[in-house]
């Protein structure tokens, strides 16, 4: 059975009444009522789980940390102005009918999560998922396959198309989506020496696009244009940010930090360009592990990634 832990009240951190922050404007939502959800441009849902992480755990604490950081971020973007109406539905809570922890599988967690993600996708507001490990990318995006063709832009150091063996992991969500009928896939910020040749071939053979971190460093606008052009024929786009796409110097608090990644500024620019596509139907930030962070670098980068994306939703520049 799937449920929600209700959201806490949001509060800004500034004493200046002119300093409007996300903490002043994000509105808690007590029930997932369609009429209520339709009042918002975007609705946040936390997914505090890291059951399926291949590397270091800690992402279960990501949603709370992202909210706390985002609450103190000002709402104004110089090109787009203030963000629109944002609601917070709280955190996903999975109540599984099992007394044996070993019976709690990632596959079962995904099935339970999809009950609620379906409800969010049926509403007019854009679902924004706060992770948590990215095994939940599958139930977050899969409902969109029911309504037409779907493409994914995956900002990630890794392709995450591993074969599903005993149980899904944080490395299998896009293999699961391909198996379910995913029409197009683009990975932006992929690192050399982080993916096996077998899985690189899997993406190529499926018609996917891989844009490396080096290509982003050469020209971030061209990089995201390449990714979006590969999704020209799809009806809907799901955008995922695995924070390990950032260089380890900017994001130490992830499951698998490595050198050679992209910068936050490059990520923010590309996210705004992706979000301005009116086919965008879902967004997530995953693999934020506060206990592994240093000076809140990863948490703050993740919160600002959300802010930049929300500032451009609906066709912003």
> What is the C-alpha to C-alpha distance for residues 121 and 100, in angstroms, rounded to an integer?
32
Strand pairing of 150-155 and 184-190? parallel
221-250 confidence digits (pLDDT tens): 999 999 999 999 999 999 999 999 999 999
Look at residue 210 in the predicted model and tell me its pLDDT: 98
Whether 256 shows a pLDDT value over 80: the answer reads: yes
13-71 confidence digits (pLDDT tens): 999 999 999 999 999 998 888 888 989 999 999 999 998 998 899 999 999 999 999 99
> What is the C-alpha to C-alpha distance for residues 212 and 40, in angstroms, rounded to an integer?
35
Look at residue 316 in the predicted model and tell me its pLDDT: 43
Whether 98 shows a pLDDT value over 60: the answer reads: no
**Domain encompassing residue 157:** 2-312
174-214 confidence digits (pLDDT tens): 999 999 999 999 999 999 999 999 999 999 999 999 999 99
Domain-embedded: residue 209 = yes
Domain-embedded: residue 317 = no
Domain count within the chain: 1
Share of residues in the chain with pLDDT > 70 (%): 95
Look at residue 315 in the predicted model and tell me its pLDDT: 43
> What is the C-alpha to C-alpha distance for residues 178 and 203, in angstroms, rounded to an integer?
10
Whether 308 shows a pLDDT value over 70: the answer reads: yes
Q: What is the CATH number of the domain that holds 97?
A: 3.40.800.10
Domain-embedded: residue 226 = yes
């Amino acid at each position: 059975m799937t449920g929600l832990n209700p959201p806490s009240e949001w509060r800004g951190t500034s004493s200046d009444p002119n300093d409007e922050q996300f903490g002043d404007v994000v509105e808690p939502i007590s029930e997932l009522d369609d009429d209520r959800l339709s009042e918002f441009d975007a609705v946040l849902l936390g997914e505090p789980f890291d059951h399926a992480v291949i590397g270091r755990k800690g992402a279960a604490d990501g949603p709370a940390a992202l909210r706390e950081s985002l609450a103190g971020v000002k709402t104004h973007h110089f090109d787009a102005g203030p963000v629109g109406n944002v609601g917070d539905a709280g955190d996903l809570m999975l109540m599984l009918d099992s007394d044996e922890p070993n019976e709690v599988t990632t596959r079962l967690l995904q099935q339970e999560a999809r009950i609620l993600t379906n409800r969010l996708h049926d509403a007019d507001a854009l679902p924004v998922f706060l992770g948590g490990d990215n095994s939940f990318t599958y139930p977050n995006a899969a409902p969109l396959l029911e309504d037409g063709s779907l493409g994914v832009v995956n900002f990630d150091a890794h392709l995450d198309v591993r074969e599903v063996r005993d149980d899904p992991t944080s490395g299998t969500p896009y293999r699961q989506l391909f198996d379910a009928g995913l029409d197009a896939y683009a990975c932006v910020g992929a690192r050399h020496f982080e993916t096996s040749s077998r899985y690189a071939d899997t993406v190529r053979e499926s018609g996917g696009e891989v844009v490396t971190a080096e290509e982003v460093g050469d020209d971030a606008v061209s990089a995201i244009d390449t990714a979006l052009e590969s999704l020209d024929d799809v009806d809907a786009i799901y955008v995922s940010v695995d924070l390990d796409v950032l260089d380890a110097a900017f994001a130490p608090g992830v499951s698998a930090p490595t050198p050679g990644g992209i910068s936050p500024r490059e990520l923010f620019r590309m996210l705004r360009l992706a979000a301005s596509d009116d086919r965008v139907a879902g967004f997530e930030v995953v693999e934020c592990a506060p206990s592994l962070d240093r000076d809140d670098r990863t948490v703050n980068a993740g919160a600002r990634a959300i802010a930049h994306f929300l500032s451009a939703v609906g066709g912003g520049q």
